[in-house]
Amino acid sequence: MVDSPNAADPFAAFTWALGHGRGLTLGPRGVLMAIVNVTPDSFSDGGRFLDVEAALAQARACLANGAEILDIGGESTRPGAEAVSAAQEQDRVLPVIERLARETDALISIDTYRAETARLALAAGAHIVNDVHGLQREPDIAAVVARARAGVCIMHTGRGRVKAEDVIADQRLFFARSLEIAADAGIAADAIVLDPGFGFAKEASESWALMARLGELQDLGHRLLIGTSRKRFLGAATGRDAAARDVATATTTVAARLAGGAIFRVHDVAFNRDALMVADAILAARP
């Protein structure tokens, strides 16, 4: 476990240290990270933003609706998705990141587990590396983050490993290894946020248990990124297809914010902006 300032209070102001000398205050209000998938096969919006101009237009719309971070991904992480090469991934994301860095003041995240893609994306202007394998698939990615003094989102996954029976115990087991990798590489504690990985090799019941017990993760010492947007466990509860799960997503955004979530990775920024405004109003009214 690596301690962060104000870790005991997830609503206290904390500056997340990011690449290129940037920083973002987390704690007093919820922050939105917009999903911009430059892919043909993502589970909800695959193919819609594969063209560079379409991806840029979507990114700008997300910023206008209240997103503070743009998460750019070039490989689908849905179960059964076809793998792409590093070159394919880079060809998709780098032109988008370069244009966004040149034409906007947005905070840019690269959604990748590949060390070389992360290095190139940070050089192109990205500020954050979002690794869905928690630094454990290509451990060299941690050194890339450390050298660039970038921010990093370390996500929990159950893929390719034997999980502990209890969902919180498994979170602790996985993150202990990821945080060890981060510390050994020299990543600063204030550069790290943790993502519980809703839906990643988790049954619907596991994701709901994780949501119900989210507050138990606060003692890991890092702010939490919540990624529930349009995921299958929401469909299991509502019976709705992926494209019709934005209302369900917003309800989990409220629940997770009240439990101490800091950043919310979403497809529909406007829906979730309103959800966060409601949650933050509730928090402000607490004694």
Task: Tell me which residues are annotated as active site.
Answer: 231, 265
Structure letter (DSSP) for residue 166: S
Decide if 157 contacts 197 (C-beta within 8 A).
yes
Residues in the chain: 287
Alpha-carbon span 182 to 140, nearest angstrom: 10
Look at residue 198 and give its three-state secondary structure: coil
Hey, what are 26's tokens? 């987390």
Structure letter (DSSP) for residue 180: H
Indicate the angle between helix axes 115-124 and 86-103, nearest 10 degrees: 20
Beta bridge mates, 117: none
